[in-house]
Amino acid sequence: MEYVVMAAKAVVVFALVSGSMPFIVWAERKVMADAQARIGPNRVGPFGILQSFADALKLIFKEDVVPTGIDKRIFYLAPILSIIPALITFAVVPYGGPDLKLFGYPVGYVADLKDVGILYVFAVTTLGVYGIVLAGWASNNKYSLMGALRSSAQMISYEILLGLSIMGVVIGSGSLSLVEIVQAQATPYFGVIPGIWLFAQPLGFLIFLIASLAEANRVPFDLPEAESELVAGFHTEYSSFKFAMFFMAEYINLLTLSGVITTLFLGGWLGPGVDRFPILGVLYFSVKTVALVYFFIWLRATLPRLRYDQLMRFAWKVMLPAALINIFITAYWVAR
Amino acid sequence: MAHPAAPEIRTETMVLNMGPQHPSTHGVLRLVLELDGETIIRCVPHIGYLHTGFENTFEDKTFHQVIPITDRMDYLAPLSNNLAYCLAVEKLLGLEVPERAQYLRVILVELQRIASHLVWLGTHGLDLGAVTPFWHTFRERDMILDLFEGISGVRMMTSHIRIGGLALDILPGWADQLREFLRIFPKRVDDYEGLLTRNRIWVQRTQGIGVLSAADAIALGVSGPVLRASGVAHDLRKAEPYCGYERFDFEVPVGQNGDVYDRYRVRLAEMRQSHRIITQALEGLPEGDFKIRDWRYTLPTRQEIKTSMEALIFHFKFVSEGFSAPVGEVYRPIEGPKGEIGFYIVSDGGRKPWRCRVRPPSFVNLQALPKIAEGRLIADLVAMIGSIDIVLGEVDR
């Protein structure tokens, strides 16, 4: 029975996550348009909200151009490899507390991996880089190859920062489970300030935020697909639905990372009244996540792109020392 | 230090063909790059993909018919091309243009300079990943295009300057429309600066990139904002004033380092100076004729044609066979948005230019690209192409 519940939850979460992706794309287009003194999509459905569905439909019906001289198996495998990790990360992100029960079963999360939780998140998101590297390699295109090389270097560098920046949170919470990390944020500081890790770990939060921008290939770290230099980077040769899969993976990644940040630093499902009405937790979680997504879109409308070497220098010479200092301070604080 | 016996260790280089279809070569420029990783070892621009044979076409057109063809060279600044050509022909004919026409010409070409710089700023920002300024600059450019439409009826290939003056005088209400633009524009430039000038990423991407020394700039014949960013205060509006530029009070913005950032600063400052010039010209706009009254060299006005037999005959002769120019050769450069643009015209006494050669700023400025690109990263190349602001229609002609 437990497995049935688990499967049901997985299906619902999968549907919600991938179903929200068209709306994120729409929101991005609308927010960007607003920043850029335009109107944005406004033809398909009310406020153009169905624009993404129309685009997806169009992409499916497009001719699937497969260039010659490619490594066919890898070429087909790459988009799949990039979308799967994006989707399965959400399995451990708690969107509602353990009190949120339906027929006696906790439905606030798909799975609570007590021992590995956060490690699972990193293990899976790291897999996403394979999709990009293999796509660039299999395409037999110089621009793709360069995009892939850039992204592998970038993602591996920022992966380390992602790992290091949450060490403070992990030390403070004393757990790797995402549910327990959220629960550790329930006690307010001095009785008034919300106990979320954002306030206790501002440096860690900042580093994690920046690193996740790089992880999701968002501006100002969107070098793997810097269209002004590399045409389209790793997905230059992809068309039709294979392109759509890369596109979807990118936006689902954005959503997933926002969810992870919410969980780790913004108190996940926590909020006023959650202990009495656990269902409110889902609302709080969604609001926080959407706010982060909005923040990422806002950044995209504002910032130019960093250069490749500046990006690497920033990672290794600025962010890495800062993350280490953060760990030392936290460790000292906890051990005191 | 390498062992003397060890061979020099080098990795394999990769030849990358950037363009002619590439998002950031601003047209159909093709660059053959030899890359070591992402570092450019060699950069060879290949041009000619937009070659249209304009100069040869000129030889087959009467002096008047040449004007609309000049629009197509630098299609982002058609009025500047018009003016450069008309000034050269006027010099050949020894014509003196009425004062009102001169003021209006100054207003038009300075608006054109702002429009051209706005396109540059938007696309340059896009190249570096800053997408938002693009829409903002195009919004303001659209106001200028509306003004052009209001005066000539055309938005893109505005061909309004004629030999001896203008095609038409401004219509009632146009000046108010222009005043509205002048009122809004300085705030909008502040907005662009707010988005970019102090943006850490923008500064990192542009400062110290694509440095062109003053000596190199002069040796390569570079002109316009690119030259001035290198610290050479050479502006034909000051050095060899035309259209009465000496009447206006404006400064020539100069950079110090000759890098991409300085070119950005110089162009933004130029937009503010152009705004200053237009304001003065609009205030001091005199009454009078908008073109000379010598119907040999210009079309008689509608009113004249309908009331005077001679004007009708002149009109017929002008349209059917044009006018002949004295034997001689002239060159009269002006300061276009991209640099020195001038027409060298040789006349054998006929009705068509015997030879017409254009000195295009984009073509000459493009020469500087290999000089500043080699040894830099491919990501910087995009910034550098953007910063020298070329229009391929003018490079290839």
Q: Which residues of B touch A32 (CB under 8 A)?
A: 131-132
ipTM associated with this complex: 0.73
Q: How many other C-beta atoms are found inside a 10 Å radius of the C-beta of residue B365? A: 28
Tell me what pLDDT residue A232 has.
Answer: 67
CB contact under 8 A, B126 and A38: no
B308 CA: distance to closest CA in chain A (Å) = 53
Side chain identity, residue B338: K
Cis peptide before B370, with omega less than 30 degrees from 0? Answer: no
Residue A88 Cα, gap to closest chain B Cα (Å): 31
B255, B260, B264, B265: CA torsion to nearest 10: -30
Two tokens at B85? Answer: 């050509």
Report how far residue A144's alpha carbon sits from residue A125's, in angstroms, rounded to the nearest whole number.
Answer: 21
Domain B53-395, what fold? Cytochrome-c3 Hydrogenase; chain B (1.10.645)
Confidence of residue B275 (pLDDT cuts 50, 70, 90): very high
Give me the tens of pLDDT residue by residue for chain A, a chain 336 residues long: 778 878 888 888 888 888 888 888 888 888 888 888 888 888 888 888 888 888 888 888 888 888 887 878 888 888 888 888 888 888 888 887 777 777 777 776 777 677 778 888 888 888 888 888 888 888 877 778 877 887 788 888 888 888 888 888 888 888 888 888 888 777 777 777 777 777 778 888 888 888 888 877 777 777 666 656 666 677 777 877 888 888 888 888 888 888 888 888 888 788 777 777 777 888 888 898 889 989 988 888 888 888 777 888 888 888 889 989 988 888 888 777
Q: Is the CB of A231 less than 8 angstroms away from the CB of B378?
A: no
Other Cβ atoms within 10 Å of B307 Cβ, number: 10
Does residue A323 belong to the interface with chain B, where contact is any CB pair within 8 Å? no
pLDDT digits (tens, 9 = 90+) for B112-161: 999 999 999 988 888 887 888 888 898 889 999 999 998 888 888 888 89
pLDDT at B1 over 50: no
Question: Looking at the partner chain, which of A38, A227, A307 has a beta carbon nearest the beta carbon of B377?
Answer: A307
CA distance linking residue B288 with residue A230, whole number of Å? 55
Of B390, B394, B327, give the one whose Cα is nearest residue B25: B390
The domains of chain B are located at 53-395
**Full-model pTM:** 0.83
Residue A297 distance to chain B (closest CA, Å): 12
The per-residue b/e assignment along B237-261, b for 16 or more CB within 10 angstroms, e otherwise, is: beeeebbebeebebebbbbebbbbb
Most B CBs within 10 A among A228, A309, A314, A317, hence the mutation to make, goes to A228
pLDDT, position A331: 85
- Judged by CB atoms closer than 8 Å, whether chains meet at B377 and A309 is answered as yes
* Nearest alpha-carbon partner for A324 in A104, A90, A161: A161
**Long-range contacts at B118-122 (CB < 8 A, ≥ 24 apart):** B118/B144, B118/B271, B119/B76, B120/B267, B120/B386, B120/B389, B121/B192, B121/B264, B121/B267, B121/B268
Cross-chain Cβ contact A307/B204 below 8 Å: yes
CA–CA distances in Å: residue A226 to residues A146, A190, B40: 11, 46, 17
Q: How far is A224 from chain B (nearest CA, A)?
A: 12
The amino acid that residue A245 corresponds to is: M
Within 8 A of A304 by CB-CB distance, chain B residues are 125, 128-130, 196, 199, 201-202, 205
Domain extent for A75 = 2-335
Is the predicted pLDDT of residue B295 greater than 60, yes or no?
yes
CA-to-CA distance for A157 and A312, rounded, in angstroms? 7
Q: Would you tell me which residues 150-189 of chain A have a C-beta closer than 8 angstroms to some C-beta of chain B?
A: none
* Interface contact A299, partner B, CB < 8 A: no
The distance of B275 to chain A (nearest Cα, Å) reads: 23
Taking the Cβ of residue A146 and every Cβ of chain B, the question of whether any pair is shorter than 8 Å is answered with: yes
Q: Does A222 touch chain B (CB under 8 A)?
A: yes
pLDDT of residue B2: 47
Q: How far apart are CA B161 and CA B165, in angstroms?
A: 6
Residue from the list B14, B22, B381 with its beta carbon closest to the beta carbon of A142: B14
Give me B81's structure tokens: 């091309």
Instruction: For residue A228, list chain B residues with Cβ-Cβ distance below 8 A.
Output: 23-24, 126-129, 382
Residue B294 Ramachandran class (φ > 0 left, ψ -120 to 50 alpha, else beta)? beta
How far is the C-alpha of A134 from the C-alpha of A152, rounded, in Å?
10
* Proportion of chain A above pLDDT 90, given as a percent: 1
In three-state secondary structure terms, B29 is coil
Contact at CB, B204 and A228, closer than 8 angstroms: no
Q: Which of A229, A231, A304 sits opposite B130 (nearest CB)?
A: A304
Contact A35 B132 (CB under 8 A): yes
Using a pLDDT cut of 70, give the percent of chain B over it: 97
CB contact A210 to B (< 8 Å): no
> What is the average pLDDT score of chain B?
86
Higher-confidence position of B221 and A217: B221
How many independent structural domains does chain A possess?
1
The mean of the pLDDT values for chain A is 82
**Could A308 and B377 be called an inter-chain contact, meaning their C-beta atoms sit closer than 8 Å?**
yes
A308–B38 CB contact, under 8 Å: yes
Whether A229 and B382 lie within 8 Å, measured CB to CB: yes
